[in-house]
Amino acid sequence: MFSRKFSMAATATAALACAAALAPVVLPAPVAAQSNPTLTNVVPDGGNYTAQGKIAALDPAALTLTLAPENKPPVPFTVAPGVDLSGVSVGDVASVHYTRSVTFVVGSPNTAVAGVPATATVGQVAQTPGGIGPGAAVIVGRVVKLDGPNSFDVVNANGGGIYTVVVTNPARQAAFKLLKVGDSVTVSVSPLIVTSVAKCGVLGLGLFGCG
């Protein structure tokens, strides 16, 4: 067996370099004469990000933090070991820097990628509003048909409904042109991992990079 791995690193430099290559796997695109559901934006971007909001929950021992951005649902985060949480508490308005990695591994035809158990099926992710959420996820699908250079049909590795994947990012199109019928595609997405957090000033303005 061999595998072909595509990964988005979790550093600022790598994020900028890889952003074009690893934009969402599936993006909105008109598909003519397709009877299968089309996957749309179910896999998030990887890279480095910043969010601001009120800290709704904080557990330094468990390394978890929940941030409530203004007018948006609360978002749970995993805090990286070594991040200083002593300057923030529940109720504070804070700026949170976080990272997320997205990795694709393509297995040779009719050979599963070993050692990476799936946590969700293709259908479950496709039918979830917004696709993959803030937690970690692993999805393993199998290519059952090549519709063209930028489109293929995939089914959950253990069977189920067939979904059409449309790849619109040019860099990913080049990579996925190497797919063959029978290939397994494993998508591994990390949780949102906090790399630093700082309390904002009055009304969330002016201090510690908040604004």
74-107 confidence digits (pLDDT tens): 999 999 999 999 999 999 999 999 999 988 888 8
User: Among 135-149, 155-169, 197-211, which range has the highest average pLDDT?
Assistant: 135-149
- Could you report the per-residue pLDDT of 7-58, keeping only the tens digit for each? 433 332 222 223 323 333 333 333 334 577 887 667 787 899 999 999 999 9
- Give the residue among 150, 187, 181 at the shortest CA–CA distance from 167: 150
Alpha helices in the chain (DSSP H): 12-18, 122-126, 170-176
| Position with higher pLDDT, 157 vs 134 | 134
Phi, psi (rounded to 5 degrees) for 8: -105, 115
Site of tokens 């990887």: 46
Bridge partners for 54 per DSSP: 68, 93
* In the chain, domain spans: 3-45+100-189, 47-99+194-203
| Position with higher pLDDT, 3 vs 211 | 211
CA 77 to chain centre: 13
- Give the residue among 63, 64, 65, 67 at the shortest CA–CA distance from 51: 67
* DSSP helix/strand/coil, 195: strand
Burial class (CB in 10 A: 0-12, 13-18, 19+), 74: middle
Report pLDDT for 112: 56
Q: Would you place residue 120 in the very low, low, confident or very high pLDDT band (cuts 50, 70, 90)?
A: confident
Q: Tell me the CATH class for 47-99+194-203.
A: mainly beta
Report pLDDT for 60: 95
Q: How many angstroms separate the CA atoms of 54 and 42, rounded?
A: 27
Mean pLDDT of the chain: 77
β-strands 38-39, 162-166 pairing: parallel
| Whether residue 166 has pLDDT greater than 60 | yes
Report pLDDT for 81: 96
Instruction: Extract the runs of DSSP E, i.e. beta strands, from 41-150.
Output: 47-59, 64-68, 75-79, 93-100, 102-107, 137-148
- Could you report the per-residue pLDDT of 192-206, keeping only the tens digit for each? 999 999 998 755 444
Bridge partners for 177 per DSSP: none
- Give the residue among 183, 145, 151, 184 at the shortest CA–CA distance from 168: 151
Distance separating the N- and C-terminal Cα atoms of the chain: 51
Report pLDDT for 111: 61
Report pLDDT for 55: 97
